[in-house]
Structure 1
Amino acid sequence: MIRNLFAAALLAALCAGLVTAAIQHFRVTPIILHAETFEGEGGHSHGAEAVVDHVDAPGTPAHSHDVVAATVAAPEEWAPQDGFERTAYTTLATVLAAAGFALVIGAVSMFANIPITFANGFLWGIAGFLTFSLAPAYGLAPELPGMPAADLVARQLWWTGTSLATGGAILLLAKTRANWAFAVAVALVVAPHIIGAPASPDEPSAVPAHLATEFAAITLGTSLVFWLLLGSLFGKFSDVFATRKAAIPAGAIA
């Protein structure tokens, strides 16, 4: 069962990751490249901080600053060249992130004893989108290069806590419908936003507001497509492997 789950997770991740990478290439990357032309013009830069592909609204495979390192102390630091090399590394990062997320929901499925099937894969995708994309984005919107941002560690800690709380709330409601469970779930979802995400520094930015808004919308839309594909394909492949195993006579070589 574990072998089948692992294989289904990786196949689903490969398919969903490649589709998402294609969407990123045509819809997300052009916005990022446009925003990079404004870096340093508004009095803000990332300084010596290296920005590597994160799953925007961190944790969703919807791109970020690609694999770009913006440094002052080491201006010669390696970064992929625009074009094929940059696209290749971004695609690889997206597929690897997809594999990681697929294995995470596979582990949750085993722990909670809620099998992922084609019938409920869509719901698993919705849950993943809410947990890793929409809930964190409510406090930390996807950011473009050149935009002021709070401390990276603080943002990562808040994103992690928000994802754990949201995922825990969804899992609790999936396992029980009691009134107390609903109350606890609401508290878990709301708590990170009451605490508040780390605030960005009050610095000017040359990045146009409409560009930031467009980027956030496309990033979340791409993330939704990714999660729906990942959940549905994961369920489909799980069903295929389960059916294949059931069709093999006992003692036969698979």
Structure 2
Amino acid sequence: MPPADASADAGIGIDPAASAGADTHPRTGSPGDGEDTLDLRLPAELLALLATTEAGTHGKGSEGDGPVPPAAVRTVGDDLLDSVGDWGPIATAVGVFHLVPVRIERDLPLISGWMNDPAVAAFWELAGPRSVTEQHVRSQLAGDGRSMPCMGVLEGTPMSYWEIYRADLDPLARHCPARPHDTGIHLLIGHAADRGRGLGTALLRAVADLVLDRRPACARVVAEPDIRNTPSVSAFLSAGFRFSAEVDLPAKRAALMVRDRSLRDLL
């Protein structure tokens, strides 16, 4: 699972297994402070997703000879993440940065190589042949649009892997307090030479701001590093996130970190 700061570890963000749709059932996390109580009303988009998924599983195609294909299920809006691919480059404290949606044929060799770095593999658990990483990435690209894998390109050089996703529409929402349009992030810094010099914190802040700028309905950006990873939690705090609660996830006790739109200019 991704840790939180390139100065200490290889990756950053929320448990990728949860974002990929793993159907797990850990103990429910504690709700934290009063501002982060769980909203038990399911978002309309999630209800629509569930309805269309149910139709795809049990319904018939136009010929009555099989399930509705995945493309037919993707009927909930044009883009659940407000077109990540169109967000464009941004100026950051460490240079011009661009989130570029992954293209398997172009990016898989690089991403798979990063996943086989022992420092990354310890948290992402995607080491092995390229097919392991390919399956993980393709499951998002072929999904309903609630998660978008991206390459992080800094000053023209691909140097990190990101997953931007709708935390309120994700299995993570079963275990963490969630609000409509909450947006989650995962990050790993690809090259060892780019770790340990503050890039993780700088990019976390920049991308969290980018999400809030490009997604007007999103009031919070969330992440959940391992609670034992003090450098990870510190990186999020340095990037303007606040500690909200401890939560139990399938493979770790996590710190739920939140970047609030209302506090973005204060932290």
TM-score by length of 2: 0.25
Name the one with the larger strand percent.
2
Bigger-Rg structure (1/2): 1
Higher relative contact order (CA 8 A, sep 6+): 1
